[in-house]
Amino acid sequence: MPGRMTSTPLYYSLSPRAYRVYLYQMLQTMEPGEVDDMQRAGYLSRDGKRVLDEDGVPREILELNIYGARLCILIDDLIAAIQEGTAAPVERVKQNWMEYLGGQAGRVQVSRSGRALNIYLMNGDRFTLSLDSLREVLGYRERAARIVELPPLPPQEAARDHLITDYCRPLSHFNTHETADSMTA
């Protein structure tokens, strides 16, 4: 038929794994001037995928692909965290006969400015993505959002565990043989 598109969109013609690889490569080749000192680390996507939670109930997720590691955030937990300003867990994705949650890998939380979603992993790595791009993905207006790695925190001095006795004189400095007469004088 004239005027009808005969080619299918790319995401229909690729397998899910090939499409994830394509997305990752596409995000790696974006304009280098867009990100200053933060390094591109991966992407977040919503494709309607469901994983089994600890009770065996299928739950919809946002998939995080960070340096090839597959992680996820449960959409219900993420929306609650954005609305309430609390943290939501980041989970590992494991595969048996179906994909399931394989344990907590970190947490996500809205930044203090309210313009980014920060990802803190258990190994100390920190990542971020724009809250605007996350909303676009949640609303199915975009397929993926770019995740960038935050620069490492400067090392902090370890706080010393102070005891109340650190601020007192040693007991040997007290005269125990003082009498009541010498204390009042």
Question: Which strand (E) or helix (H) includes residue 172?
Answer: none
List the beta bridge partners of residue 32.
none
CA distance 51 to 61: 7
Q: Are 108 and 90 in contact (CB under 8 A)?
A: yes
CA distance 69 to 18: 15
Give the tokens for residue 169.
Answer: 């004189």
Q: Are 90 and 107 in contact (CB under 8 A)?
A: yes
pLDDT in tens, the chain (185 residues): 444 444 444 545 667 777 777 777 766 665 555 445 567 889 999 988 899 999 999 999 999 999 989 999 999 999 999 999 899 999 999 988 889 999 999 999 999 988 999 999 998 899 999 999 999 999 999 999 999 998 877 776 655 655 555 555 555 555 555 555 555 55
DSSP single-letter state for residue 14:
S
Give the tokens for residue 165.
Answer: 């006795």
pLDDT number for residue 15: 76
Listed by start position, the domains of the chain span: 10-152
Give the tokens for residue 40.
Answer: 């591109």
pTM: 0.64
Q: Are 120 and 110 in contact (CB under 8 A)?
A: no
pLDDT number for residue 157: 64
pLDDT number for residue 96: 86
Q: Are 129 and 137 in contact (CB under 8 A)?
A: no
pLDDT number for residue 61: 93
